[in-house]
Structure 1
Amino acid sequence: MYEALGVVPVINGFGTATRVSGSLMPEPVIAAMREASGSYVLIDELLAAAGRRIAQLTRNDAAYICSSATAGLVLATAACVSGDDPAVMAAFPHPGTVAGVPTKVVIHRCERFSYDFSVRSTGITFVEIGPTREESLRGVRTSPDELVRVLDGSVGAVLMVPNGPHTYGALPIGEVVKISHAHGVPVIVDAASQIPAVENLWHFSGNGGPAPWAHALLEAGITESAPESVAGLGVDLAIFSGGKGLCGPASTGLLLGRPDLIDSITRQGSPNPLIGRPMKVGKDRE
């Protein structure tokens, strides 16, 4: 098929990056997509049902399927800023036109990344704390007081991007959660490429439990306990790519976390005519 279009298949030595078309989907996934494409359904009903099932599988309270991890950043930011307020939802990408609405998101300087434009596309601005990437690699660390000082009524969320040694200068996620929640501010984790390990699906935002391999040993009677337990960090929303380690379609992603925020995301996502409308996911990808 690719040759007919003049496209040359490549040998992928780069991983699951979008530029090299993500991952290869297993045959059962392809078969399920083929089956799903053969019927008409109400998309909002399918989204809700698929979200409930994914929440069960990932030990989370709620879940939403989006069109990519980048789309997930847009929707997560919009949900944290707007809550359940329809006036704010309708105001994006100009949330500041509604009085009293937070218009800032806190991010560590060492965690700024090329796709954070998706957060800014909602109309918010970043407040940076901590060292730069270069300073982080030299051992400079963020002080908790730096985070405390910026958490005022203008901040709608704190974004964490745990991805590589240059982010070591950031505060630990658990500490960020504790400080932010004390100020009534939710925490978002961009975990787009954090699968594997599969237990990250509940480590950030879900309910803790044994790691899959330890649970398998327990089920088989090989061990009497599963000591490799993974605790939940209490993050409000975690975002994963569907087309990387999950080996699903490249044009998918997962949002996991608080039910009220997932409800806000659902209201702002397709097929509703709000900021998430361009980020729709087809029935064969849910």
Structure 2
Amino acid sequence: MKRREIIKQLGVVPVAGSLMASQSMLGGTLGSVTGPLMTKSSKGPSIYESLGIDTIINCRGTFTILGGSTERPEVIEAIEAASGYFVQYDELAEGIGRRLAEITKADWGMVSAGCAAGMKHVTAACVTGGNPEKLIRIPHIDDFEKNEVIIPRSSRNYYDHAIRNIGVKVITVNSAEEMREAINPRTAMIYIMTGDDNETGKPLSLEVISEIAKPKNIPILADAAAEDLSIPCVHLERGATVVAYSGGKAICGPQCAGLLLGDKDLLMAAWQASSPHHGPGRDNKVGKEEMLGMLAAVEAWTTRDHDKEWQTWLGWMDEISSKLTKIDGITPEVTLPKGLNNRTPRLILKWDPDKLNITGEEVAEIVARTKPRIAIGGGSRGDSSAITITPSQMRPGNAKVVADRLYEILSQEREPISDEMVSPSEDISGHWEADVKYFTSNSTHKFFLEQDGNWISGTHTSENGSQDMIGMIEGDEVVLRSSFRIPGNGISFWFTGKISNGELSGSVFLGEYLTAKFAAKKVSYRQNRKKLNVPGGPPLAT
């Protein structure tokens, strides 16, 4: 296997030829703080720069970790108008719910502190039926009449943790027949994440689920977080009871707001489970500013020139493509969305990595860590390498900056990257015990490794699971990777460190869960070379 292939599998980009993850990936320090926080009187990125933080040109889309989407001017105006006045929140929720119903043609509407919070509140409503005596007992719900939620396997995802937070038992099903068998008097709700697997005509489509659930009065919660808003809501028409949207994605409302549309009684019970009311939802506080900002975003959705926005995105993509295709070997491809989810065109720029001597992953890492910082997708497509530009959250003027920066990188003459590797300084085959130091605790992990030249394979036993591990060693530098997975969640571990005299130490990159440190030692087994006698029959004494 080529050096670059194993690095691609490891997911660690070798910036400047180093096998070690970049300092910024491992929680490096920010730039220096330049003074007090800048106020709104300073236009542009000054408020972030005053904290030593770089702004990023977003060519990736509505990812929360980048800030979601840019709020519409109408949203900012509504937030500012709401600030400085006091209202009774139940009265505000009533007025907003009624207005959302008028706009969207749904039975009712509610604003939550993000889509996941809304999913949590709806789950609480389904479990309690709006009974506050039950509400204040969450998550201790084992003796509740309703305490189970059914989720199709194709809908299990990181965000269903919001549902599990209520304390429900999740029943995962693979087919309509399994769903019918799973339904029982304790079934509180069925949850789906909208997408291809539950589209009309599929074996477990929303229509099929509705036919199963509605006769038994089981609510269906449809998670459409990243979708365009449809009026009337297509998922409600297909049988969902409540549909949840993110405020900070396609709708371009407040990043910390969510939108719930559907059955009024169920949404009133969900509002009861939400802040400002005490109970399991008090920790998901939504302010009057976000509530009115979300309403303003929905109102603006009905008047936005969506065709003009689309043409603007295509124009930015064309500007970038026209610049980069001047480089011999780069070919463009435009992909168009098929559904409502993440509905934006995308520009894919492909090339032969052996011709330009750089991969898409490496380009994405360079622009992510150096100024001007740009977030793009990077990966491989067959024998080609590629970068992906998603224009929906780009701002005017970004396209030229992106085109110039990518042209600068991709047009550089580079020497072919050799597949020759530095010989390992040690053989790390064997059983290792690692002390992983998190922010406020330690955990013991075990590695069972086999080494074949520079390549490493084996098993990683973490605190709650055992998973395959792959890696590489060059000189005294070691990179190991594994992924821990459970339904609905997962954690990737990248161990990067140096080995010396049977001891390995360094950093652990945990993806979205930040970083840790580790120190590992090879386990030596005490030799006991006695002949073993196998009993010839059952014991005569116990």
TM-score (norm: length of structure 1): 0.81
Please give the alpha-carbon distance, in whole angstroms, between the structure 2 residues aligned to 1:174 and 1:57. 25
1:84 aligns with 2:130: yes
Asked if the contact 1:43/1:283 (under 8 Å) is kept, the reply is: yes
Asked if the contact 2:117/2:284 (under 8 Å) is kept, the reply is: yes
1:199 aligns with 2:230: yes
1:175 aligns with 2:208: yes
1:186-215 deviation digits (Å, cap 9, x = unpaired): 1110111112xx31661122xxxxxxxxxx
Structure 1 residues 95-174: aligned runs within 5 Å: 95-98=141-144, 101-130=145-174, 142=175, 144-163=176-195, 165=196, 171-174=204-207
Please give the alpha-carbon distance, in whole angstroms, between the structure 1 residues aligned to 2:252 and 2:203. 29
| Residues 1:122 and 1:90: Cα distance change in structure 2 (over 3 Å) | same
Amino acid at match of 1:250: Q
Q: What's the offset of the Cα at 1:87? A: 2.2
Q: What's the offset of the Cα at 1:161? A: 0.6
**Residue aligned with 2:213, SS:** helix
Give the share of equivalent positions with the same residue, in percent: 31
Hey, which of these two has a bigger chunk of helix by percent? Answer: 1
TM-score (norm: length of structure 2): 0.43
Asked if the contact 1:108/1:170 (under 8 Å) is kept, the reply is: no
Q: What's the offset of the Cα at 1:86? A: 2.3
Name the counterpart of 1:219: none
1:46-70 deviation digits (Å, cap 9, x = unpaired): 1211111111111111111100111
Asked if the contact 1:2/1:8 (under 8 Å) is kept, the reply is: yes
Give the structure with higher Rg (CA): 2
1:64-89 deviation digits (Å, cap 9, x = unpaired): 11001110111111111111222221
Please give the alpha-carbon distance, in whole angstroms, between the structure 1 residues aligned to 2:130 and 2:277. 15
Runs of 4+ in 1 over 6 A off after TM superposition: 166-170
1:73 aligns with 2:73: no
**Residue aligned with 2:158, SS:** coil
Amino acid at match of 1:280: K
Please give the alpha-carbon distance, in whole angstroms, between the structure 2 residues aligned to 1:282 and 1:170. 41
1:5-52 deviation digits (Å, cap 9, x = unpaired): 111110111111101101011222111111110211112211211111
- Alignment RMSD: 1.6
Please give the alpha-carbon distance, in whole angstroms, between the structure 2 residues aligned to 1:283 and 1:77. 23
Amino acid at match of 1:14: R
Q: 1:187 aligns with which of 216, 220, 224?
A: 220
**Residue aligned with 2:170, SS:** strand
Asked if the contact 1:91/1:97 (under 8 Å) is kept, the reply is: no
Asked if the contact 2:197/2:204 (under 8 Å) is kept, the reply is: no
| Residues 1:152 and 1:193: Cα distance change in structure 2 (over 3 Å) | same
Q: 2:64 aligns with which of 3, 9, 18?
A: 18
Name the counterpart of 1:221: none
Asked if the contact 1:92/1:123 (under 8 Å) is kept, the reply is: yes
Asked if the contact 1:110/1:170 (under 8 Å) is kept, the reply is: no
Q: What's the offset of the Cα at 1:4? A: 0.6
Asked if the contact 2:123/2:163 (under 8 Å) is kept, the reply is: yes
Amino acid at match of 1:199: S
Asked if the contact 2:115/2:259 (under 8 Å) is kept, the reply is: yes
**Residue aligned with 1:116, SS:** helix
Name the counterpart of 2:456: none
Amino acid at match of 1:203: V
Name the counterpart of 1:253: 258
- Which is bigger in relative contact order (C-alpha 8 A, separation at least 6)? 1
Please give the alpha-carbon distance, in whole angstroms, between the structure 2 residues aligned to 1:78 and 1:201. 26
**Residue aligned with 1:107, SS:** strand
Asked if the contact 2:198/2:205 (under 8 Å) is kept, the reply is: no
Structure 2 unaligned blocks of 5 or more: 1-46, 292-542
